[in-house]
Amino acid sequence: MRHLKKTAKLGRTGEHRNAMLANMVCSLILHKRITTTLAKAKAARPVAEKMVTLGKHGTLHDRRLAAARLHQEKAVKILFDEIAPSQKERHGGYTRIVRLNCRQGDASQRAILEWVDVPTPGEAPAETTPAQETKPAPEAKPAPVKTEGNVPAS
C-alpha cells in the first residue's frame, strides 16, 4: 500500500524526474511562465517555491544549494537578483497553476505554471497605462461671434 507516499513518480526514475523538474524550474525562472501537463506542473511547483525561499535568504550557502539543485548558473543569478527580491513580502504561494484545455494527442490536462507577482515579458507594466500616457487636450479657443455682414466682433 502507498500510505504517506505522495511523491509524483511521473513514470520516470528518480534521477530522470529530478533532472526534469530542475529543467522545468530553470525554464520557469528564465521565461517567467511555462506550459506543461497538470501533473508535471503540480510536481514542479514545490521545487520552484523552495528555490524562491532559498533566494529570499540570499546567503552564499543558499546560492550554492540552489545551484546544486538547478545546475544552471544563469537561472540561479536571475532567481537571486530578480525573482526573490520581488517576492520579499510574500510568505509562500509564489507560483500559480492555470488549467488549460486537454492536449489533442493523448487528452492529458495541460496547465500554465507562472509566478504570481513577477510580470511576464509579454505584458506591459501596470504603472504605464495608455490613459496616463495621453496628453490633455488643448483648450479650445472660443469661436468668433458673428455679427451682421460676417464681420467678426472686436
Write out the chain's pLDDT in tens, 154 residues: 989 998 899 999 999 999 999 999 999 999 999 999 999 999 999 999 999 999 999 999 999 999 999 999 999 999 999 999 999 999 999 999 999 999 999 999 999 999 998 777 776 555 545 556 666 666 766 666 666 666 666 5
pLDDT at 133: 60
Segment (H or E) for 29: helix 14-31
DSSP-derived secondary structure for 82-131: IIHHHTTT--S--EEEEEEEE-TTT-PEEEEEEESSSPPTTSPPTT--HH
Q: Among 101, 115, 106, 111, which Cα is nearest to 52's?
A: 115
pLDDT at 149: 63
pLDDT at 23: 97
pTM: 0.76
CATH 3.90.1030.10 fits 14-122, yes or no: yes
pLDDT at 122: 72
C-beta of residue 44 within 8 angstroms of C-beta of residue 79 = no
The domain locations on the chain are 14-122
pLDDT at 59: 95
pLDDT at 130: 56
pLDDT at 131: 56
Cell numbers found for residue 100: 488549460
